[in-house]
């Protein structure tokens, strides 16, 4: 299965933390099968790239549904090397131009997402 490629497009964070956790749980499960997988963060999802933000979501998540978002992110980044691309159009609006970003986060334009979509299957949350 190692030849499959995916991009997870994540548009939620604090507004729907369980959707965010579910997406990351699915991605972690898929990475266990050695697929090529990265995230593209848009809209409220870009806030996940701000260092320390994911830890704030634990209290907002439903209990006993998914692992905490910050733990899932740590697994994705540290264990699997997943990258979190940030929509360049959202950076200033969400104050990320002045924020410290999480490891493996990188700002990219929408055209980069377009390139990814031509090469990969997408999963949108």
Task: Give residue limits of the domains in the chain.
Answer: 5-124
pLDDT value of residue 2: 55
CB atoms within 10 A of CB 17: 22
CA pair distance 53, 96, nearest whole angstrom = 11
**Residues 6+ away with beta carbon under 8 Å from 60:** 14, 17
pLDDT value of residue 3: 84
- Edge to edge, the sheet with strand 105-108 lists 105-108, 84-87, 36-41, 5-10, 121-124
Full-model pTM: 0.94
CA pair distance 96, 98, nearest whole angstrom = 5
CA pair distance 115, 58, nearest whole angstrom = 33
Show the low-confidence residues of the chain (pLDDT under 50): none
Give CATH for domain 5-124.
3.40.1260.10
pLDDT value of residue 91: 96
pLDDT value of residue 1: 55
């Amino acid at each position: 299965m190692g030849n499959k490629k995916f991009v997870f497009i994540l548009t939620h964070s604090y507004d729907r933390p369980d959707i965010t956790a579910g997406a990351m749980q699915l991605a972690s499960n898929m990475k266990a099968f050695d697929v090529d997988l990265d995230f593209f963060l848009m809209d409220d999802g870009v806030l996940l790239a701000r260092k320390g933000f994911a830890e704030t979501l634990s209290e907002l998540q439903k209990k006993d549904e998914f692992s905490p978002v910050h733990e899932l992110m740590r697994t994705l980044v540290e264990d699997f090397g997943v990258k979190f691309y940030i929509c360049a159009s959202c950076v200033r609006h969400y104050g990320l131009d002045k924020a410290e970003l999480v490891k493996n986060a990188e700002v990219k334009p929408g055209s980069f997402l377009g390139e990814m979509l031509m090469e990969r299957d997408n999963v949108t949350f």
